[in-house]
Chain A
């Protein structure tokens, strides 16, 4: 008698696994490519990638690292929310509690803190990488705009998060940082009132910043991030780098995304996670005494990434230093892809050999010129004293701005005439110069400004004790 051997019923676990995860990675290229095509997550990659765009030294993995950091920030942030009350002074007590009475509390907070700071550095480096390789040119202008918007949002997220520990460091950095808002013409006072929820940083500010920090800003970043990834694919994937000597496109070699790209991404993410984890275990995030509105530290400094702005404020009329220059800078960054259009050099670092030389030259000049100008303005130039009857907006704002802009324009003109630099190389030169100058100003602000915002050498920094 023939007995039908009953097929063993697959276990519950087996059925779940079959339904939810693919049955192993296919052994053939076609199967792997289909796997990418059919997966929503993997679909941010093409089925095949060019080997040249996978080189570490082309992208440095900066975009991926930003995404990894955002993920870490989201994860640690959710844990922190559960241990935090956005009410002064309970907020500070909660941070003490997280540090001293929550398992892994300090580690989570350190991870969140250092990831957030690293994120700023990484997103700025990502912007620089895209700029120097000129990959924001058509058809990628829109993605450049999204990227710059995300950089601004990241700065906003960092700034709103800075206040949340409610210690002296947070309170006064935010007080200094938000004082910049009041220089906005016409609506400055009203805007400050709106952002702070009152005349000065207080309990309402903490709540405002907390709400922005945990809802609007992360949501906006998440939305824009998805859009950013999608546009990378829509715009034809990563630009293919060409060595500057090659004139025509060689047929690029392509390999399957699985395992070539996914492996690398996994290794990259693991290494950075390990590095961040170890760093956070060893270096605690700063925490000072509870916020005390009656006791301002000397000097009161903004968060480190705004120290370049604060340094500008020391040299210019507030309207120029805090509003006009930053607005022009942001507008310039937004507009870059619309007047720097040469498609031939897309994907080439520094555009050309001349571009590379000009970049080097710009960095060198800015390294010398910026400290000299800071010293001159600190100790010798005194526009308001020399032009006592003039409005300070002109005497201490527009005149120094013109004095700085004029040599820059002349320099640009010389470079154009003598070295026959074209538009894309001139854009590279000017932007490199201004960016280096801004970095130098930031470093001066962080390390060389002491009590009364006077200049001191870092190892001679006086400490004002209350």
Chain B
């Protein structure tokens, strides 16, 4: 019986070859993939670890660096994390410490289950960082994100006033306490214990009203959930009790015993010019061209900024940034001389600074949807033609570069060309055929 295969032999051959080719491709592909699989798995695992460590470094910068330090070296009595003992510690122990906090220390519970901000996955990533991470790289990440913690500064007690303190009853204890405070506490609790933005006033009636027991407990074990750490590792019980005496008898002390460092930065015409230039390129975008401030950053050209703020304090802010705000760390991008030039430039506004900041706020304030005509933000049609709309949009690239493309960009021409050419070809072809059919 003849085979009724109506396919012609040529196409039959082609189809058979395609089938054979596909089968061989599958076999060869799977074979190659299988040989490659062990290598792939190893590299995939390294990739996963790298990604998790990368995410962990950002988490560390955002959550941990302020207490545990730039390179996990520990600040004050907060323990260091670059400790080799932690590498061999069981994974679960570290994880539990981060998730649930550590009782009687400043370490709060970080797990979402315990009211913290971190998920279990993020906590696992942090444990990975502690056990496998590179702390130098982590430090760079912290600095790059502008989250470097304040470098604790210390002061020297005023010698003349320290003499006076010595004359008070039990003066020797007070003198010791003053020196301890100047060496350890002044960076957070401020000159004369008057407080700063990160720690409360100690030199007031409320604190003095507390019992010695309560103060001792706070100093020894810290205040959980705050930056206040337990000092029992750093200070002896005698030193702690001396500090308690100081806190309770602060009203007897002359003001200025524990000063903030204040040595005006010398300026020259050149340094002011340099400062002006650096300010214009680095600071004016957020703080305004004349330091008036913008919605992004506070006003600098105002009396309240200069009052009680030494040049060292301003230099400190620029160098280390302000954690938790948009103010980045400039210390890694500028030399000390450059930062001091900026401080000098800012300082010369003091004589003319107004009492109330003339903040430049587009639209004169109010909620964004009630903006009047001056508040229209300029958006652009594809970033090309300026068009006014009331929708706030992002008009610059993430890297801050401004768009300079024009309508003559070849890619736009190509896109429009292909679109218009194909559309008009189709339309004319269709209409042509239709016209012919009608006749």
- Contact residues of A with B, CB < 8 Å? 27-29, 51, 89, 92-93, 96, 99-101, 103-104, 106-107, 253, 255-256, 259-260, 263-264, 266-267, 270-271, 273-274, 277-278, 281, 289-290, 292, 353-354, 356-365, 367-368, 371, 375, 379, 418-420, 451-452, 454-457, 459-460, 462-465
Contacts and interface: CB of A to CB of B under 8 A. Distances in A.
A243 to B, nearest CB: 17
Interface centre among A264, A357, A465 (most CB of B within 10 A): A357
A447 to B, nearest CB: 10
B12 to A, nearest CB: 8
Given A357-B434, A419-B434, A379 B389 contact: yes
Interface string B17-54: 01101110110011001100100110011011001000
Interface centre among B379, B381, B420, B423 (most CB of A within 10 A): B423
A457 B383 contact: yes
Contact of A363 (B382, B383, B411, B426): B426
Nearest to A378: B381
B25 A357 contact: no
Contacts of A359: 430
Contacts, number: 167
A277 B425 contact: no
A29 to B, nearest CB: 6
Give the size range of B's interface with the partner.
35 or more
A100 B41 contact: yes
B374 interface: no
Q: Secondary structure at chain A's binding surface: helix, strand, loop or mixed?
A: helix
Contacts of B121: 89, 92-93, 290
A106 B426 CA distance: 43
B6 A459 contact: no
B19 A255 contact: no
Contacts of A354: 433-434, 437
Given A277-B30, A460-B403, 15 more contacts: A28-B1, A51-B6, A99-B48, A100-B48, A260-B6, A260-B7, A263-B15, A278-B25, A292-B119, A360-B427, A361-B431, A379-B381, A454-B394, A457-B412, A460-B383
Contacts of B3: 27, 29
Contacts of A456: 382-383
B11 to A, nearest CB: 10
A361 B423 contact: no
Contacts of A457: 382-383, 405, 411-412
B420 A357 contact: no
Nearest to B412: A457
B137 interface: no
A360 B426 contact: yes
Contact of A267 (B6, B19, B45, B383): B19
A177 B29 CA distance: 37
Nearest to A369: B423
Given A100-B41, A259-B5, A267 B424 contact: no
Interface string B272-303: 00000000000000000000000000000000
Given A264-B15, A357-B433, A364-B430, A463 B6 contact: no
A462 B22 CA distance: 42
B37 A104 contact: yes
A464 B1 CA distance: 73
Contact of B438 (A99, A104, A419): A419
A27 to B, nearest CB: 7
A446 to B, nearest CB: 15
A93 B128 CA distance: 14
A270 B23 contact: yes
Contacts of B396: 462
A357 B429 contact: yes
B10 interface: no
A277 B26 contact: yes
B352 interface: no
B356 interface: no
B437 A274 contact: no
Contact of B434 (A28, A361, A371): A361
Given A100-B47, A357-B434, A270 B22 contact: yes
Contacts of B370: none
A261 B34 CA distance: 34
The 8 closest A-B pairs by CB, nearest first: A361-B430, A364-B426, A364-B427, A357-B433, A100-B44, A270-B22, A367-B423, A360-B430
Nearest to A98: B44
Interface centre among A270, A418, A459 (most CB of B within 10 A): A270
B62 to A, nearest CB: 11
Contacts of A277: 25-26, 29-30
Contacts of A255: 4-6
Nearest to B396: A462
B6 A368 contact: no
B158 interface: no
A51 B33 CA distance: 40
10 contacts: A100-B47, A104-B37, A267-B18, A267-B22, A290-B121, A354-B434, A451-B393, A457-B383, A457-B405, A459-B411
